[in-house]
Amino acid sequence: MPFEILDHEADAGVRGIGNTVEEAFAEGAKGMFSLMVELERVLPKESVEVECQADSLETLFVAWLGELLLQRDLTGMVFSRFAVQVAREGDEYHLRGRAWGEPLDPERHGAKVEVKAATYAGLQLGRTAEGDYFVQCVVDL
C-alpha cells in the first residue's frame, strides 16, 4: 500500500511511502484525502498548482498538506492525483506540485470526515527497511 492511515487518539496520522521523497509526499496527500472521500470516486478532471517552501523536508510535508487543504477550501475541490517536485534552494526546500480532482459532490464522492489541518505531531521522514522513503504526520479532524 503506497499510503497508510495511522492510529491516533483523537485525530489521524497519514504516512506516504514511495521510491523518492516526491512520491512519498504525493502518497501522503492521497492518504489525507482518503480520510475525506473515496479516492477512486474522484475524477482528475481539473488541476491546481501548489507551491510552498520550508527549512526542512519534514516541515515541507506539513506545508504541502496545508496548501492542499487551502486549495480544497478555496476551490471546493477534492483531489485524487498528485505530482510533486522538491528542490533545495540555499537553506530552504521548495516544492512545486499539482493536484488533480473535481468539485466535491458529497454523495458521489462518499464524503467521510473533514480534515481541518496538517500538524507537526508525529512528523517524521525516513527510509523503510526496504529502502523506500516515508513521510508522516498527524492531521486534525
| Per-residue pLDDT tens digits for 47-67 | 999 999 999 999 999 999 999
Q: What is the mean pLDDT of residues 100-126?
A: 96
Quick one: pLDDT at residue 136? Answer: 97
pLDDT at 9: 65
Burial track 118-140 (b if 16+ CB lie within 10 A, e otherwise)? bbeeebebeeeeeebbbbbbbbe
Q: What residue has cell string 474522484?
A: 42
Collapsing DSSP states into helix, strand and coil, what is residue 43?
coil
CATH code at 19? 3.55.10.10
Question: Does the predicted TM-score (pTM) go above 0.85?
Answer: yes
Domain of 38, in residue numbers: 3-140
Residue 1 predicted with pLDDT over 70: no
Tell me the three cell numbers of residue 60: 515541507
With a cut of 90, say whether residue 111 has pLDDT above it.
yes
Amino acid at 25: F
SS3 46: strand
How does residue 2 score in pLDDT terms, banded at 50, 70 and 90?
confident
CA–CA gap between residue 126 and residue 135 (Å, rounded): 7
Cα torsion angle, 61, 67, 29, 94, sign: negative
* 61 backbone dihedrals φ, ψ, rounded to 5°: -60, -45
Q: Which one, of 5, 33, 3, lies nearest residue 16 by Cα?
A: 3
Q: Is residue 75 scored above 60 in pLDDT?
A: yes
Distance CA 90, CA 103 (A): 37
Domains held by the chain: number: 1
